[in-house]
């Protein structure tokens, strides 16, 4: 960006700090935590006139009941699944889809301030969702306001998708938008995620549940039954070798420098975790079954069918060796994501982000999953995920979630720089 333009941008963004934190405060105040996610209609209705003031055409799009019931609904959820699609034809040749989610995780315990009333302390703004990911929504509104003030036109037609249930899945509002063909455009910017680097790769998610079957009997004569918990112990020991085999693989997508510093890993890797175990009825009953649950996160270079096959083969071997009765249920989550790092869009996002934040932002992969991966699998758009929160300090999903005011302002500069 040329010097004169940069100075004008800096001045305008500084003048809009109150507007920016004001918008973010309003967004946090509407408690869109999921479960249950019962205030999506409220936040969408609040956003519509704001986007209309910037010349957008807005649609409140509810996930149809039949889709909701078959793909997303569970007992913890209530209220309508209302999403926002805001579009603006700027007379440009190309269009960009700008996405993030409006839901947040529940507040949890341990806060030093009210989670849904923002507080500013030492250049940080605190509140549930300020980093993940309402801060990026407030920044987008501020970026539009800056562009208005400076009379700078967007060089892309804009298609803003602000959607629901990302934090709970498996079929978020964005997945519905993708399937309903509402995300057409040449590029995609995902404002979800942190500002650590430009994320172009994510792992796919496969949740699994394994039932170890035993046979109950009186615990004083255990030889009459089969203790499912003891069987599960054997299964877990055997699965440790599958974990070892899986976790030596690596993707060609690099980790962030922080991640490398902490873990020693240079590229993203698959993981295999056992994360839940339940079994047993009563102290004096030999347990008839024991259920293990976990997740298998697979790199973009792996594919889900092979991942499942590998798991099934390992279980087959355990069955053969020990005669244990096992039943596997796999529940696919978001697919993996991979955009070629040499893609022009990636380069542009990287360059503009590095300039706005005053540090070079690396192209990275992350081991978590994102719902935008599902969307771009359909749309085939090049995608970059780059958000406003700090990977190290924002404590997204934890108590005292916060975002630096400076990062919010730099993020506004990033958006203006990218769009103009």
From the list 132-140, 276-284, 297-305, 313-321, the region that binds Zn ion by CB under 5 A is 132-140
| Residue with smaller CB distance to Zn ion, 347 or 397 | 397
Residue 80 has a CB neighbour count (10 Å cut-off) of: 17
Which pair of structure tokens corresponds to residue 10? 């800096």
Distance in Å, CB of 215 to Zn ion, minimum: 45
| Residue with smaller CB distance to Zn ion, 99 or 187 | 99
Distance CA 204, CA 370 (A): 8
Distance in Å, CB of 151 to Zn ion, minimum: 33
β-bridge partners, 297: 205, 271
From the list 125-133, 242-250, 251-259, 320-328, the region that binds Zn ion by CB under 5 A is 125-133
Residue 386 has a CB neighbour count (10 Å cut-off) of: 27
Residues 9-28 that bind Zn ion (CB under 5 A): none
Of 351, 395, 387, the residue nearest 366 (C-alpha): 387
From the list 14-22, 84-92, 128-136, 294-302, the region that binds Zn ion by CB under 5 A is 128-136
Q: Quick check: 172 binds Zn ion (CB under 5 A)? A: no
DSSP state of 63: P
From the list 43-51, 134-142, 186-194, 217-225, the region that binds Zn ion by CB under 5 A is 186-194
Distance in Å, CB of 161 to Zn ion, minimum: 14
Q: What are phi and psi of 221, to 5 degrees?
A: -130, 60
Q: Which of 72, 83, 133, 251 binds Zn ion (CB under 5 A)?
A: 133
From the list 33-41, 173-181, 189-197, 318-326, the region that binds Zn ion by CB under 5 A is 189-197
Distance in Å, CB of 134 to Zn ion, minimum: 10
Q: Quick check: 132 binds Zn ion (CB under 5 A)? A: yes
Distance in Å, CB of 372 to Zn ion, minimum: 10
| Residue with smaller CB distance to Zn ion, 133 or 202 | 133
* Ordered DSSP codes for 331-384: EE-SPPEE--TTSHHHHHHHHHHHHHHTSPPEEEEESS--HHHHHHHHH---EE
| Residue with smaller CB distance to Zn ion, 173 or 287 | 173
* Ordered DSSP codes for 107-122: --S--SS-TTS-EEET
CA dihedral 386, 131, 162, 420 (to 10 degrees): -50
| Residue with smaller CB distance to Zn ion, 272 or 386 | 386
CB 418 within 8 A of CB 351: no
Residues 209-238 that bind Zn ion (CB under 5 A): none
Distance in Å, CB of 99 to Zn ion, minimum: 11
* Ordered DSSP codes for 266-316: SB---EEEEEEEEE-S-TTB--SEEEEEEEEEE-TTS-HHHHHHHHHHHHH
Binders of Zn ion: how many residues, by CB under 5 A?
A: 3
Distance in Å, CB of 192 to Zn ion, minimum: 4
Distance CA 376, CA 281 (A): 45
* Ordered DSSP codes for 283-294: TTB--SEEEEEE
Q: Quick check: 192 binds Zn ion (CB under 5 A)? A: yes
Contact set with Zn ion (CB under 5 A): 132-133, 192
């Amino acid at each position: 960006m040329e010097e004169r333009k940069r100075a004008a941008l800096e001045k305008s963004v500084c003048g809009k700090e109150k507007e920016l934190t004001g918008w973010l405060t309003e967004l946090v105040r509407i408690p869109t935590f999921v479960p249950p996610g019962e205030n999506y209609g409220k936040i969408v209705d609040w956003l519509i006139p704001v986007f209309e003031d910037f010349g957008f055409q807005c649609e409140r799009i509810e996930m149809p009941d039949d889709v909701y019931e078959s793909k997303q609904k569970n007992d913890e959820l209530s209220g309508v699944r209302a999403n926002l699609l805001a579009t603006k034809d700027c007379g440009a040749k190309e269009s960009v889809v700008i996405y993030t989610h409006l839901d947040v995780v529940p507040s949890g315990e341990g806060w030093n301030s009210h989670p849904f009333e923002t507080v500013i302390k030492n250049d940080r703004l605190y509140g549930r969702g300020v980093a993940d990911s309402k801060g990026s929504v407030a920044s987008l509104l501020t970026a539009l306001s800056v562009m208005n003030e400076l009379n700078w036109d967007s060089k892309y037609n804009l298609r803003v998708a602000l959607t629901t249930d990302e934090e709970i899945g498996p079929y978020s509002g964005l997945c519905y938008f993708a399937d309903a063909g509402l995300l057409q455009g040449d590029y995609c910017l995902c404002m979800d995620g942190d500002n650590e680097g430009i994320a172009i790769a994510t792992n796919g998610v496969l949740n699994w549940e394994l039932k170890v079957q035993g046979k109950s009997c009186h615990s004083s004569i255990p030889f009459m039954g089969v203790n499912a918990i003891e069987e599960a112990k054997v299964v877990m020991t055997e699965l440790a070798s599958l974990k070892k085999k899986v976790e030596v693989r690596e993707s060609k997508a690099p980790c962030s420098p922080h991640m490398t510093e902490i873990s020693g890993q240079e590229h993203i890797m698959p993981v295999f975790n056992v994360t839940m175990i339940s079994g047993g009825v009563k102290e004096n009953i030999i347990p008839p079954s024991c259920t293990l649950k976990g997740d298998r996160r697979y790199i973009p270079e792996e594919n889900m069918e092979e991942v499942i096959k590998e798991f099934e083969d390992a279980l087959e071997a355990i069955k053969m060796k020990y005669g244990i009765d096992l039943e596997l249920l796999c529940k696919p989550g978001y697919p993996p994501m991979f955009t070629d790092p040499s893609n022009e869009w990636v380069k542009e996002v990287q360059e503009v982000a590095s300039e706005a934040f005053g540090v070079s932002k690396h192209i990275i992969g992350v081991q978590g999953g994102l719902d935008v991966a599902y969307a771009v699998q359909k749309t085939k758009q090049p995608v970059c995920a780059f958000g406003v929160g700090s990977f190290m300090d924002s404590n997204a999903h934890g108590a005292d979630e916060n975002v630096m005011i400076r990062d919010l302002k730099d993020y506004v500069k990033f958006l203006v720089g990218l769009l103009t």
